Amino acid sequence: MVNFTINGQSVSCEKGETILNVARKNAIYIPTMCYLQKTTPCASCRLCSVEAEGVEGFVLSCQAPAIEGLCVITESDSLHKERVNIMKMYDVNHPLECGVCDKSGACDLQNKTLEFNVGTQEFSAKDQHRKIEHWGRINYDPALCILCEKCTHVCNEVIGDDAIDLYFGGYGSKVIPKNSETLDCTFCGECISVCPVGALVSSDFQYTANAWELSKIPAACAHCSAACALEYEVKHESIDAIGQEKIYRVTNDFEVNTLCGAGRFAYDFENRIYGKDKEAFLGAIEAIKKGAIRFSSLITNEEAMILQRMKEKLGIKLFNQEALNFSKFMKAYGSTSGQSLYSATLEHIRSSDAIVIIGSRIATDNPAVRYAMTTAARHKGARITYMHPIEDALMQNTAKQYVKYEVGAEEGVMALLAKTLLEGKTLDSEISAFFAELDLGYLEAESNVGDEEMMQLKKNLTRTKKRTLILGADLIAHAKAENIARLAGLIEKHTEFKVMIVAPSTNTLGVSLICDLDEESEGYAVGYNARGEFVLSSFGEGDLDMPSLNQQEGTFTTIDKRVVPTNVALPYNGYVLNDLANALGIRAEYTIDYTSQLPYSVGFECNAFDTLNARYGNAIKDSRGYELKSIEVTCDGVLSSVDELPEFNGTVLYACNPVLQFTPNTQKAHQLEEEACLRGSEQFAIAAKLSDGDRVEFDFGTLRQKRIFKIDTALKGTIALNPAYDLGLAAMVSSYRYQSVKISKVGS
């Protein structure tokens, strides 16, 4: 620890921490313009300058580490004069367009100009013509840009797209697309968020509302299992519809958390209805009494609790194959790890220096995990091993080693991985016998993962201390998922690795813990955002409408194992699940009355909804809601022998959505319009005898699908990507994600 003083106040920190970070932790204000907590210091604005005893001149607190006995001054006449001059230099080059600028009212340049009372100007500069750039969802005005470098840092160090750069040319300096004529990226919009002025803006939001007109509704993103913190910004739709609310945009606390493009741009998925259908409501009650509800994981914990109460009172069955698969996986995992939950978090990934990921196309499955991995690679030099049958161009600049295994070989690959990582560990005789009996020659030949790849992986771990193993959705629905889970549990228990298991959908983890789920069976079933003989749907295509997740308050259980609140952004005028429960004799005034009833036995706390923190606040880490308690369980898991690995011959498709698409909710978003098509490489096209633009037909699982085939030059190999987000009530993929199919060309 290092001990020093700031403005006479004694403070302490770990060696290497910057003066600015220590000041923030101790609620001592130092102004900044270009600083971002989640990236390396930009060091371009110099507003964070401080004085240090014994040091000539000013010190940049954003990059200067604290040293023992240092005396720091954050406010003085000379510092104030320096900061005023910095602001004057910024202001002389910045057009006075506050009246029409989207950032007005939330602009760092405005705020700091007022803070330092800059009311006069001694400097002058010649006006320059700077062309406004239109980059799809993002517009860039170089005349407003202050060249703070926040956007380039976050794009490279956190997102991993590395899509923008600074062109230095005196007054002609500006942000430019990197190695491209126009912006080529995943359009997460984080550059818009971090921009301190109005240089980078949403093309859809521009000129639609002022910051001070919008009400901020703290919520959790409803699109993937990360459930990232965000704020829906809402006001009336028009002066002719004062009582009718509309979401205008989504923002985030960009200092500490990051949103993908789905979270930022796919906010308008509400189910707008204008009355209650009493006849349909009565029909739903009778339908539920018939004995089964099939539902997706696009629900809150409270709704899951209501469904469980219905099962307990009415004796009905609950079907959610995806959550059931996850529940079985977690129980098998706990049977060898000794804990009910995995141990890793996104913060642990960000601070790791070694990461192994298997069974996920992570950039599209869960962008928050991708961003955490990128941060680890850029800031910690993390050595990342990416194991998957399909290469991913979005991970090329992040992963150090790519291990390509054969489709279906996940169990064999996990056995090889566990054997490598557990080598030299003290194991009981049964586990040692399991590894001794592995047919290594067969597994290596059939999985296409040999000793060379494992030795390289082991070499990557040399001198690393903080290690993470990430398991993806491909493993959870695998035919041998439980054996894979038991192997992963052994790695968790006996090695330095912490494990993260990426849940496939928004609240899969919560549902798997709350609901006593049944195996799918034939017969009559009510569907809740899923197929059924009577359908309750927030997608607007069922027998009885239900509210979307941006029209509800309740909680999600995140990939970080946190129970986090979400709030109502838009009103809903129809029936909700709690109305059905009340009609069936399960009494609660509000849905959120179930928040305090979530099962304590599996790690939930008995906290009322209104007591849960919904924002990050000043905390450096996610402090929303609370963290689930991991329960100690008996280590009684027995490994099954790895027998014959399955073969996938012919034309193989992989259930995988494109970037920014997750569910029917993201498909509804007006800013994410795109055609859902089958995408394959040129090599796949040759093997399948297809041409770009062909209309094709095939059976994927139980569903007959028609698609346009598109050649994607970023793809390699002979596996094509088949999306599911556009399939409505059938969009939830609960089976193994790879399938051999017969593709037929069809007429237009």
> Would you list the DSSP string of 29-58?
----SS--TTS-----S-TTEEEETT-SS-
Q: Is 14 exposed, middle or buried (0-12, 13-18, 19+ CB in 10 A)?
A: exposed
Which tokens belong to 666? 């993201």
Q: Which CATH architecture has domain 325-501?
A: 3-Layer(aba) Sandwich (3.40)
Task: Give residue 619's pLDDT.
Answer: 56
- Residue 245: beta bridge partners? 236
Q: Are 303 and 551 in contact (CB under 8 A)?
A: no
Number of Cα atoms under 13 Å in the Cβ half of residue 252: 27
User: Identical fold at 2-75 and 114-265?
Assistant: no
CATH of domain 651-745: 2.40.40.20
Going by C-alpha positions, the residue among 632, 500, 546, 666 that lies closest to residue 295 is 546
Q: Which CATH architecture has domain 114-265?
A: 2-Layer Sandwich (3.30)
Q: What does the domain layout of the chain look like in residue ranges?
A: 2-75, 114-265, 278-320+515-627, 325-501, 651-745
Q: Are 483 and 642 in contact (CB under 8 A)?
A: yes
Task: Say what angle helices 410-421 and 440-447 make with each other, to 10 degrees.
Answer: 130
Going by C-alpha positions, the residue among 97, 89, 105, 96 that lies closest to residue 147 is 89
- At 288-321, the pLDDT tens digits run 999 999 999 999 999 999 999 999 999 999 999 9
Task: Give residue 240's pLDDT.
Answer: 76
Which tokens belong to 529? 């955002």
Q: Are 314 and 466 in contact (CB under 8 A)?
A: no
pLDDT per 10-residue tile (average), the chain, 748 residues: 95 94 93 94 95 93 94 96 94 89 95 93 83 95 95 97 93 92 94 97 95 96 97 89 88 93 97 92 97 97 98 97 97 98 97 97 97 97 97 94 97 97 94 95 96 96 96 96 98 97 97 97 95 94 95 97 97 96 97 98 97 76 91 95 92 96 95 92 95 95 93 94 93 86 88
The top-level CATH class assigned to 2-75 is: alpha beta
> Would you list the DSSP string of 354-401?
EEEEES--HHHH-HHHHHHHHHHHHHH--EEEEE-SS--GGGTTT-SE
CB atoms within 10 A of CB 548: 25
Q: Which residues contact 8 (CB under 8 A, 6 or more apart)?
A: none
